[in-house]
Amino acid sequence: MTNLDVGSLTVVGTGFGGGGQITADASHTIATSEKVLYLVDDASTAEWIRAANPTSESLGDCYLGRDDRLKTYFDIAERILSFVRRGLRVCAVFYGHPGVFVYPSHEAIVRARNEGFEARMLPGVSAADCLFADLGVDPGRRGCLAFDATDFLVRRRQADVTVPMILWQVGAVGRVDYPRDGNHDNIKILSDVLEELYGRGHEVVIYEAARTPGCHPRIEFVCLENLPTASINLISTIYLPPRDEPLVDADMARRLAMPEDFLLSSKGVASGYIPWRPHAGPKPRRPQGG
């Protein structure tokens, strides 16, 4: 049984870059909801949300005086649900994709549905989408691994050094609070593990999506041995290009009746997972049909 007439919840995302990536569905939901609660990371997006709907209210104060991230997330979810329980059509707005590394959005939807309310999530532009575009990485060419940095370490996730890998929330690796000290010791542990897999000289990318209009993303190349002394923020992502070229199972390719030139074209193909360096001249054009 659902309480369709006494409240509902729609969770949306704003993407990055000052709200320029907000979808039409998300924009319409923000404008037409009876209550809007938002958690975004730039002033221009917050101003746009308030202008679009005068009922808008920031969730930022939920972080004040709090060090336990999980408790903060629970408080955010409960605050969102408090308005749904009043019978309002509520829109909860988060930056980026509302379902990617946004614990309270999922928690709020689960609680709402368990209480009989209609709840849904609309997709948004995530940091991964921005990374693929900014670095020129195509995950469809060689696949892509992605892990939370803490999860990668404590669960001993298996890296495949022939496949691109993304590590999220590197600045908060191993922490359940909000690290304000740089978290250098834990980043050094992460770096040591990665060096064992890739080698000290393997070059990776510290990436941060552009957060305001007119700004550029952060794209910084650094060798793993220098990662502990690099500037790592809470929003920093690490992209690791493959160390080795993937092998092609020739027998399987033949069983699939694939052309022989596929085996040759699959060797030494860097495009699709080695990032283009910004400010290094024009990005090379791919051959027609490549």
Q: Is 47 exposed, middle or buried (0-12, 13-18, 19+ CB in 10 A)?
A: middle
d(CA 76, CA 7): 18
> Residue 209 corresponds to which tokens in the numbers above?
């999506």
Q: How many other C-beta atoms lie within 10 A of the C-beta of residue 66?
A: 13
> Residue 248 corresponds to which tokens in the numbers above?
């092609």
pLDDT, tens digit, 9 for 90 and up, residues 252-262: 888 888 887 76
Residue 96 has phi, psi (to 5 degrees) of 75, -150
> What local confidence, expressed as pLDDT, does residue 20 receive?
78
Q: Is 175 exposed, middle or buried (0-12, 13-18, 19+ CB in 10 A)?
A: middle
Please give the sequence-ordered ranges of beta strands (E in DSSP) within the chain, or none if there are none. 8-13, 35-39, 57-58, 89-94, 118-121, 145-148, 165-168, 203-208, 218-223, 237-240
Which residues have a catalytic role annotated?
Answer: 69, 73, 95
Classify domain 128-265 at the CATH class level. alpha beta
> What local confidence, expressed as pLDDT, does residue 58 receive?
96
pLDDT, tens digit, 9 for 90 and up, residues 111-162: 999 999 999 999 999 999 999 999 989 898 889 999 999 999 999 998 999 9
Q: What single-letter DSSP state applies at residue 15?
A: B
Classify domain 8-125 at the CATH class level. alpha beta
Where do the domains of the chain lie? 8-125, 128-265
